[in-house]
């Protein structure tokens, strides 16, 4: 949206020169959709930008407060925030969108001869003081940003008569950016053009304990990343046509089954001595048997926790697999009561038969084989649900 | 498990009974897996050539062959399975020989017949539940079509 607001003049010019009946720009869409004039459309666009920036800042704040995310993700979110402000600063002043803006002599020098080695990215390992590495991005930027106070107050009172290109772009939302977002930087902006806070990037922002989650989730993330995605989720949605379970609960159920499924696949490959899974190296050949078993057990615990959180005793029983007496549901014999042992128990028992036959070279009867399938099919076997077309 | 969790969380007072359907569906697609592992080139690409034979798995085609090959031929097959146990995997040559013997016994074709029978059962079970609930499930039918052999 910011880009569309700033590139409006350029894109309108382009459309006119090329005899186009439309402009590929949000401003144009807003004008058409809401049947409003140019200035009103820009105002709508600014409001949308403000709303989205606020949302973005909220998300970032929550992500940092919650501390359940990895340091890399938090760093990425910070970088996105700087990308947004950087894009604004650039758009306000770049020659691409502002006809009267000029590249600075230094920029022209860099464009002609490249960025000097000592400023290149690979070299930026030591904490940097407010060194003017980006120097005036564009010289016009200096004046427009340092005049932000007067420019923005002017434009609020007379937003229909913009006087400079940068004011045209940011007559009001510049405040939002500079105050809420760039505030630590804005004071420096006029003196040192646009220093990037590299020093902040050196310090860990999140508790290191989170890294441990990355390790324990490694094997199950790996197996989830392998090709040949099953269609269990599609089947879940299809069956729910008859069950009418609320969407949010279905999502949790899918997650539970996914977690158990991944855990079983990892254990299954270890137990069968499979070197391959879906044509790729099996998980334990990548992470080792110990780490893989640990990650599987952790996944099973996670699934149990999710099941308990559903607050439904049947679900907890199905997943945790406590032995209980069969119950009846509303007088009718239901699916839940037909089975004499809980699902997760049967899963392990079925698998034990399979392993026993293979290890001892005992060929089961067809009946025994089908019985073992019935016990283990829900989780362990997975090729069965891969799409063939 | 998926179906049971859905049943448990369903807000409906009269919940449909999908037990037979799920059992048939599970069998159909487990045996489909046995069949595809030996017969499908796509499985060869994504899972490796007849990976089940590496695992020494007693899949339906293997069980069928051991029961139906004449004595001396069945002896060869069971010995190859023993060798696989000792070496941990089957060589491509061994796999090819096992496949030949499975074809000789008509075991792969037999497995396909069984899968198709079970698919018919699944279709019937879907109809039963549709009648029971008065709700057509086109979504489920579409998924079933995608994996029909």
- Asked whether the predicted pLDDT for residue A27 surpasses 50, the reply is yes
Is pLDDT of B117 > 90? yes
Together in a domain, A36 and A124: yes
**Same domain assignment for residues A264 and A214:** yes
> Are residues A25 and A156 located together in one domain of the fold?
yes
Domain count, chain B: 1
pLDDT score at A152: 42
In a domain, A366, yes or no: no
Which structural domain range is residue A259 located in? Answer: 209-337
Q: What is the pLDDT of residue A291?
A: 93
Residue A144 pLDDT greater than 50, yes or no: no
pLDDT at A126 over 70: no
* Backbone Cα Rg of chain A: 30
Kindly state the average pLDDT of the residues A38-66. Answer: 88
- Assess if residue A349 is contained within a domain: no
Give the rounded percent of residues in chain B with a pLDDT score beyond 70. Answer: 93
Mean pLDDT along residues A326-345? 46
DSSP A72-140: HHHHHHHHHHHHHHHHHHHHHH-TTT-TT----HHHHHHHHH---GGGSGGGTTS---S--SS--SSHH
For the record, the structure tokens of A249 come out as 């609960």
Query: Cα(A380)–Cα(A350) distance, rounded to whole angstroms?
Result: 10
- On the question of pLDDT at A181 being above 50, the answer is no
Lowest mean pLDDT among A1-10, A53-62, A178-187, A259-268: A178-187
Residues 244-303 of A with CB under 8 A from B: 244-246, 249-250, 253-254, 256-257, 260, 272-276, 278-279
Number of domains in chain A: 2
Kindly tell me if the per-residue pLDDT of B116 is higher than 80.
yes
Same domain? For A189 and A131 the reply is: yes
* A388 within a domain of the structure (yes/no): no
Residue carrying structure tokens 């293997």 = B62
Tell which residue, A127, A170, A122, has the closest CA to residue A145.
Answer: A170
Estimate to the nearest angstrom the gap between the alpha carbon of A341 and the chain centroid: 40
Residue A97's pLDDT is what?
86
Tell me, yes or no, whether A122 lies in a domain.
yes
Yes or no: say if A5 and A45 are a contact pair by the CB < 8 Å rule. yes
CATH number, domain containing residue B68: 1.10.600.10
Element (H, E) at B112: helix B107-133
So what's the pLDDT on residue A293? 94
Per-residue pLDDT of B14-68, as tens digits, reads: 888 888 888 888 888 889 888 988 887 656 655 567 777 777 788 899 999 999 9
Cα dihedral sign, A80-A85-A88-A90: negative
Residues A171 and A34 in one domain: yes
Q: Measure the CA–CA gap between A116 and A284, rounded to whole angstroms.
A: 47
Q: pLDDT at residue A381 above 80?
A: no
Residue B80: domain span: 24-43+52-146
Note whether residue B19 is domain-resident.
no
Q: Kindly list the residues from chain A whose CB atom is less than 8 angstroms away from the CB atom of residue B22.
A: 335
Longest Cα–Cα distance in chain B: 60
> pLDDT value at position A333?
39
Average pLDDT value over all residues in chain B: 85
Judge if A183 and A279 occupy the same domain.
no
How distant is the Cα of A286 from the closest Cα of chain B, in angstroms?
A: 17
Task: Compute how many other C-beta atoms are within 10 angstroms of the C-beta atom of residue A177.
Answer: 22
Check residue A332 and report its DSSP letter. Answer: B
* Phi/psi of residue B9, nearest 5 degrees: -100, 0
Same domain (yes/no): A46, A157: yes
Q: Is residue A350 in some structural domain?
A: no
Nearest neighbour of B56 by CB, restricted to A276, A358, A387: A358
Whether A389 maps to a domain, the answer reads no
Residues in chain A: 389
CB contact under 8 A, A279 and B6: no
Higher pLDDT, A387 or A100: A100
Same domain, A113 and A228: no
Q: What is the pLDDT of residue A323?
A: 37
Query: For testing the chain B interface, which of A377, A381, A382, A389 should be mutated: the one with the most B CBs within 10 Å?
Result: A377
Distance from CA of A216 to the nearest CA of B (A): 25
Q: Which residues of B fall within a CB distance of 8 Å from A300?
A: none
Q: In this predicted structure, what is the pLDDT of residue B125?
A: 92
Average pLDDT for chain A = 72
**Disruptive mutation site among A243, A362, A376, A387 for chain B (greatest number of B CBs within 10 Å):** A243
Q: State percent of chain A over pLDDT 70.
A: 65
Contact present, B27 and A377 (Cβ < 8 Å): yes
Question: Using a CB-CB distance cutoff of 8 angstroms, which residues of chain A are in contact with residue B60?
Answer: 366, 369
Domain assignment of residue A246, yes or no? yes
Closest residue in A to B56 (Cα) is: A358
> Model pTM?
0.55
User: For residue A348, is pLDDT > 50?
Assistant: yes
A271 and A333 share a domain? Answer: yes
Task: Note the pLDDT of residue B40.
Answer: 73
Please tell me the distance from the alpha carbon of residue A115 to that of residue A109, in angstroms, as a whole number.
9
Q: Summarize pLDDT for A191-250 with one digit per residue, the tens.
A: 333 444 545 444 444 444 555 678 888 899 898 887 655 677 888 889 999 998 998 899
| Residue A105 located in a structural domain | yes
What is the CATH classification number for the domain harbouring A295?
1.10.600.10
- Terminal CA-to-CA distance of chain B, rounded, Å? 24
pLDDT of residue B42: 57
Average pLDDT of the segment spanning A184-191: 40
* pLDDT, position A110: 85
Q: Do A104 and A66 fall within a single domain? A: yes
Is the pLDDT score of A170 beyond 60? no
Q: Is A384 on the interface with B (CB under 8 A)?
A: yes
Q: Is B11 inside a domain boundary?
A: no
- Judge whether B107 lies within some domain: yes
Q: Where are the beta strands (DSSP E) in A191-241?
A: none
């Amino acid at each position: 949206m910011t880009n569309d607001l700033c590139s409006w003049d350029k894109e309108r010019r382009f459309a006119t020169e090329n005899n186009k009946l439309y402009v590929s720009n949000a401003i144009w869409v807003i004008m058409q959709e809401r049947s409003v004039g140019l200035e009103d459309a820009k105002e709508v666009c600014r409001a949308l930008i403000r709303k989205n920036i606020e949302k973005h800042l909220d998300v970032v704040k929550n992500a940092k407060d919650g501390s359940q995310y990895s340091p890399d993700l938090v760093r990425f979110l910070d970088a996105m925030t700087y990308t947004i402000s950087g894009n604004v600063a650039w758009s306000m002043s770049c020659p691409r969108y502002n006809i009267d803006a000029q590249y600075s002599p230094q920029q022209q020098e860099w464009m002609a001869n490249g960025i000097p080695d000592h400023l290149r990215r690979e070299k930026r390992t030591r904490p940097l003081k407010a060194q003017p590495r980006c120097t005036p991005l564009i010289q016009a930027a200096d004046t427009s940003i340092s005049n932000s106070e007067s420019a923005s107050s002017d434009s609020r009172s007379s937003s229909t008569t913009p006087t400079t290109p940068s004011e045209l772009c940011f007559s009001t939302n510049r405040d939002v950016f500079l105050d809420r977002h760039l505030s630590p930087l804005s004071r420096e902006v006029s003196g040192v053009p646009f220093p990037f806070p590299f020093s902040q990037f050196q310090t860990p922002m999140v508790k290191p304990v989170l890294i441990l989650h990355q390790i324990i989730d490694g094997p199950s993330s790996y197996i989830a990343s392998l090709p040949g995605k099953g269609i269990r989720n599609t089947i879940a949605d299809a069956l729910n046509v008859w069950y009418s379970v609320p969407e949010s609960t279905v999502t949790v159920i899918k997650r539970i089954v996914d977690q158990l499924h991944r855990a079983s696949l990892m254990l299954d490959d270890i137990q069968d001595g499979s070197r391959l899974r879906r044509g790729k190296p099996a998980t334990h050949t990548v992470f080792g048997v110990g780490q893989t078993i640990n990650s599987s057990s952790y996944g099973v615990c996670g699934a149990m926790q999710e099941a308990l959180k559903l607050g439904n005793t049947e679900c907890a029983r199905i997943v945790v697999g406590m032995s209980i007496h069969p119950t009846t549901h509303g007088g009718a014999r239901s699916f839940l009561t037909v089975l004499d042992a809980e699902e997760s128990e049967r899963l392990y028992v079925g698998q034990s038969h399979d392993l026993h036959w293979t290890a001892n070279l005992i060929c089961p009867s067809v009946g025994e084989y089908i019985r073992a399938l019935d016990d283990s099919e829900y989780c362990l076997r997975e090729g069965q649900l891969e799409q063939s077309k | 498990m998926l179906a049971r969790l859905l049943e448990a969380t369903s807000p409906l007072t009269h919940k449909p009974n999908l037990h037979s359907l799920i059992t048939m569906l599970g069998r159909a697609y487990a045996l489909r897996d046995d069949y595809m592992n030996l017969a499908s080139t796509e499985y060869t690409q994504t899972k490796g050539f007849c990976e089940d034979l590496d695992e020494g798995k007693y899949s339906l085609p293997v069980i069928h062959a051991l029961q139906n090959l004449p004595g001396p031929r069945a002896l060869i097959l069971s010995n190859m399975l023993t060798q696989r146990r000792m070496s941990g995997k089957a060589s491509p040559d061994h796999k090819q020989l096992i496949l030949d013997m499975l074809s000789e016994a008509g075991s792969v074709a037999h497995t396909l017949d069984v899968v198709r029978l079970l698919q018919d059962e699944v279709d019937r079970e879907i109809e039963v539940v549709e009648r029971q609930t008065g709700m057509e499930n086109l979504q489920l039918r579409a998924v079933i079509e995608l994996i029909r052999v």
